[in-house]
Structure 1
Amino acid sequence: MTIQHEPETFLFTSESVGEGHPDKICDQIADAILDECLRHDPLSKVAIEVAVRPGLVIVFGVVDSLACLDVDGIVREVLRDIGYDSPDQELDYRTCDVMDYVEVRSVKKLPNSNGNGNGNGALVSGSFPSRAEKEVAGDQGMVFGYATDETPQLLPLTIDLAHRISRALKAACIEGTLPWLRPDTKVQVTAEYKQEGGHIAPLRVHTVVVTAQHTPDVTVDELRGAIREMVVLKSIPAMYLDARTVYHIQPTGDVGVTPSGKFAGVTGRKIVVDTYGGWGAHGGGAFSGKDFRQVDRSAAYMARWIAKSLVHAGLAQRCLIQLSYSSGIAEPLSIFIDTFGTSQVSVERLKQIVRMNFDLRPAGIAMELGLMSPIYYATAKNGHFTSGLFPWERVRELVL
C-alpha cells in the first residue's frame, strides 16, 4: 500500500516600510544625490551616507564628479516629495537643519576631440563608453539574487503584498482618500505556504499588520476601519483572504505616534525590505548612495535579473544566485546557483547558460542595465525589485 503524505505547510512573514520611515528617508536622499551626480557626469564615483533625527539631516561621504551639488536643496526637495511639510512633524523640509559634510573631490577633465579641455570631459562623445569599459569592481563583495514563480512579478508573495500595501497607503494620503495619514508607515504580511519538495506555493494570507503615523483628528477606530477597507482589502487579491485572516491595524492604539519608534535613521538599515523580505539570502551590503562600481548594488541587480530570467524561462520554479567579486578584478570569482530541487537542468548547465547570456563584469552590468543613468531615487522607495520600469526587472529571453 502506498502512503500518501500531505504537503507540509508553514508560515512566513515579510515587512515593508513607507517612504517616510526615517531609514528610508536616508536611502532616498542618498540616491537623489547619486542621481544628481549622474545627470552631469555618468562616470561619477559616489559614496553617500545620510542620518536623520528630529529637525536635523546629516549628509556625508565622498563624491568624485563634475557635478556641482546643492546638497541642502536636494535634501529639502526629497523631504517635500515624501510629505514632510508640516511644522508639527519630525522633519519639515522648510525649517529643518541640513549639515553637509560631503567631500567633493576634483576630477581630471578629459580633452575634447580637438585636444582642448572643455570642462565637461566625462560627457565627451566617444570618451565615456571607452572609460566605462575599463571599470572593475570597486570593492570585494558577495551578493544574492532570488526569484520564485509564486507571483507574476516572480517575487515572494509576502514582500510583494507588503510593498503593495505601503504604496497604497502613500497613494491614499496623496489622493486625499485618507487625508489624515502621514508618511511614516510600517506593514507586515504573513502568508501560509504549502511545500512539496523544493516547490512552494502560497495558500492564504494569515496575518496583516499595519501601523501608520497620522494627524490627531482621526480616532483609532476610524483609522483601523478605513485602512482595512480602503487599503488592505484593495491591495491583497481576494483569493488569499478568508474568514481566518487576522488584521492588526494600529495594534497599540496610539494616536499620531511615529511607527518606527524614536525618530532616527541612517542609510542601509532596510536591506531586507529592499530585497526579498527575508527569502533567499542577502550578502549584507546596502544599495543606496553607491554607484555601479560597488558590486553590493550593481551585481545584486544582475543576480536578480539572472534569477528572474531563469525562472521566467521555465528552467526552475525557484532560483537563488550568488555572485562574488574582488576589488580590482572585473570578472566574478564565483557563481553559485540553487534551484531548491525545482529544476530539471544541472547546475553546471545553468552556469553555462548564465555566462552565455549575461556580462558579469561591473562595466558590462552598468552598460546592460543603464546604471550610469539617474534612475536610483525611485529604487529607494518601495523595494528595488518591485517595478517593471527597472531594467533588471525586464526578463531576458535566454539563448539556451
Structure 2
Amino acid sequence: MKSQSTFLFTSESVGEGHPDKICDQVADALLDECLKQNPLSKVAIEVAVRPGLVIVFGVVHFISRLDVDAIVRLVLKDIGYVCPDQELDYRTCEIMDCVDLHPSLFNGNGIPSGLEAPANEPAGDQGMAFGYATDETAQLLPLTLDLAHKISRDLKAAQASGMLPWLRPDTKAQVTVEYVEDQGRMVPTRVHNVVITAQHTPDVSIERLRQEILDNVVRKSIPAKYLDDRTEYHIQPTGDVGVSPSGKFAGVTGRKIVVDTYGGWGAHGGGAFSGKDFRQVDRSAAYMARWIAKSLVHHGLANRCLIQLSYSIGIAEPLSIFIDTFRTSKLTSDQLKEIICKNFDLRPAAIAKDLNLINPIYYQTAKNGHFTNKEFPWEQPFDLVL
C-alpha cells in the first residue's frame, strides 16, 4: 500500500479595490457597454491607474461612441473610491481616454455586425487556455482559492454593512491549506495559516483592526472544521502599512491572472481575460476549458481534471486538446476526449453562443475570480451524453 504524502499549498485573492483589480473591472465594464451597443463588437481594452489618474487605451470596432469617463467613474464609485483622501476619488480623479473607435460594420475578414457570429469565425489570435476542476469543494474549486475569495468578499461586505467602517476597498487575502495526496486526489485537512492586509482609515488601532477582522471575517469565512489551535493568523503583519492613502498605488489590467483562475493550481495559458471579447481565446477558450473540466468532475468521471485547448489565428477549430485527470479517472484520455468532442463545440463562435459571451456579463467576472459564481454559464455543469 502506497503511503500518503502531506504538503502545504497557498492561494491568494485581492479585493475589488486592489489597483490591478480596478483596472480589470473598468476594462470589463467598458466591454459590457460595447456589447450592449453591438453584441459582436470587437474589443481590446487596457487600463492603468495611479493616484489621481486612470488611463484607458485600446481599440474597439463596430461601435461609434463610448463614454469612457462616465463608465470609469461609475466603476470607481461602485468599488468604494468615494473619499477625497483615497488614492482615487470617483468625482475628481483625472481620466485619460485613449481608446480608438472604428465604427465600420465590417472587419478585415468581411464579417458583419449582428446578433450571432458566423459559425466558422476564426480565433482572433493564437493561444492556449487551461481549465481545472477538483472535487474538494462544492464549487469544484481548490479550497485554498475558495477560502481566499470568500475572505475578500466578506471583507467587502463587512465594510459595506458598517460592521468594519474603517476598512477601505484595497485588500489582500492569502490562505495556506494542509493537504493529503491520496492516489491523485488532493484532500484538504486543515488551514495552516491566513494572511490579510487591508487599507484602512487612520483612526483605527492595529490591535482593534486585527481582532475585529479575525472575529468578524476570518472565523466566519473559514469553516470551523479547518481551524485548530495551530492555525496561524497574520493580519496586517507589518503594522499600519495599510493606512490609506498608502503611497504605493499603481495597477494595470491582467496582473492578477492566477487570482482570476485557480490560485496556482492546474495551469494557466498566460493570457489575461479582462477587456477582451470572445474572439480572444485567452478568455473564451479558458471559460470553455473550465466548463469541460467542471462537467467531467461533476459527473464523476474524475476527481480532478485539467484541460488544455490550443488555437491558431485564422482557424476556428482547436489545434489540440490535452486532458490530465491525475490518475483519478477510470477512463483513458482518449475516451475522455471522445466524450468532450461529442458534447462540446470548441469553435470560438460556438463557445460564445453556448456560454452567452456576446452578452454584457463581464463586469461581475472581474470581481472575485472568473470561476466562483455559480450563475456564470460556464459554472453550470453540462448534461453530458456519454
Common topology (TM > 0.5): yes
> What corresponds to 2:173 in structure 1?
187
> What corresponds to 2:383 in structure 1?
397
Deviation at 1:109, TM superposition (A): 7.5
Q: Which amino acid aligns with 2:42?
A: K
2:24 counterpart of 1:27: yes
> What corresponds to 1:102 in structure 2?
99
> What corresponds to 2:197 in structure 1?
211
Q: Which runs of no fewer than 5 residues in structure 1 stay unpaired?
A: 111-120
Relative to the length of structure 1, the TM-score reads 0.93
Residues 244-264 of structure 1, C-alpha deviations (whole Å, 9 max, x = no match)? 110000101115436997200
- Structure of larger gyration radius: 1
Aligned-partner SS, 2:155:
helix
**Contact kept in structure 1, 2:201 and 2:243, CA below 8 Å:** no
Q: Which residue, out of 342, 355, 367, partners 1:369? A: 355
Residues 261/148 of structure 1: CA separation in 2 closer, same or farther (3 Å cut):
farther
> What corresponds to 1:17 in structure 2?
14
Residues 136/366 of structure 1: CA separation in 2 closer, same or farther (3 Å cut):
same
2:24 counterpart of 1:38: no
**Contact kept in structure 2, 1:43 and 1:132, CA below 8 Å:** no
Aligned-partner SS, 1:200:
strand
CA–CA separation in structure 2 for the residues paired with 1:169 and 1:310: 33
Alignment of 1:325-340 (within 5 A): 325-340=311-326
Residues 157-208 of structure 1, C-alpha deviations (whole Å, 9 max, x = no match)? 0000000000000001111110110000000000000012211100000000
Deviation at 1:320, TM superposition (A): 0.2
Residues 32/134 of structure 1: CA separation in 2 closer, same or farther (3 Å cut):
same
Q: Which residue, out of 226, 233, 248, partners 2:212? A: 226
> What corresponds to 2:143 in structure 1?
157
Equivalenced residue count is: 382
> What corresponds to 1:244 in structure 2?
230
Q: Which amino acid aligns with 2:95?
A: V
**Contact kept in structure 1, 2:144 and 2:177, CA below 8 Å:** yes
Task: Give the fraction of aligned pairs with identical amino acids, expressed as a percent.
Answer: 73
Alignment of 1:268-347 (within 5 A): 268-347=254-333
Q: Which runs of no fewer than 5 residues in structure 2 stay unpaired?
A: none
Alignment of 1:66-215 (within 5 A): 66=63, 68-108=65-105, 122-123=113-114, 128-129=115-116, 131-215=117-201
**Contact kept in structure 2, 1:45 and 1:65, CA below 8 Å:** yes
CA–CA separation in structure 2 for the residues paired with 1:258 and 1:66: 38
- What is the aligned-residue RMSD (CA, Å)? 1.5
Q: Which amino acid aligns with 1:289?
A: G
CA–CA separation in structure 1 for the residues paired with 2:156 and 2:228: 26
CA–CA separation in structure 1 for the residues paired with 2:137 and 2:245: 29
Between 66-75 and 239-248, report the one with greater CA deviation. Answer: 66-75
CA–CA separation in structure 2 for the residues paired with 1:278 and 1:67: 40
Deviation at 1:82, TM superposition (A): 0.3
CA–CA separation in structure 2 for the residues paired with 1:319 and 1:67: 43
Residues 287-343 of structure 1, C-alpha deviations (whole Å, 9 max, x = no match)? 000000000000000000000000011110000000000001000000000000011
2:55 counterpart of 1:58: yes
**Contact kept in structure 2, 1:185 and 1:259, CA below 8 Å:** no
Aligned-partner SS, 1:133:
coil
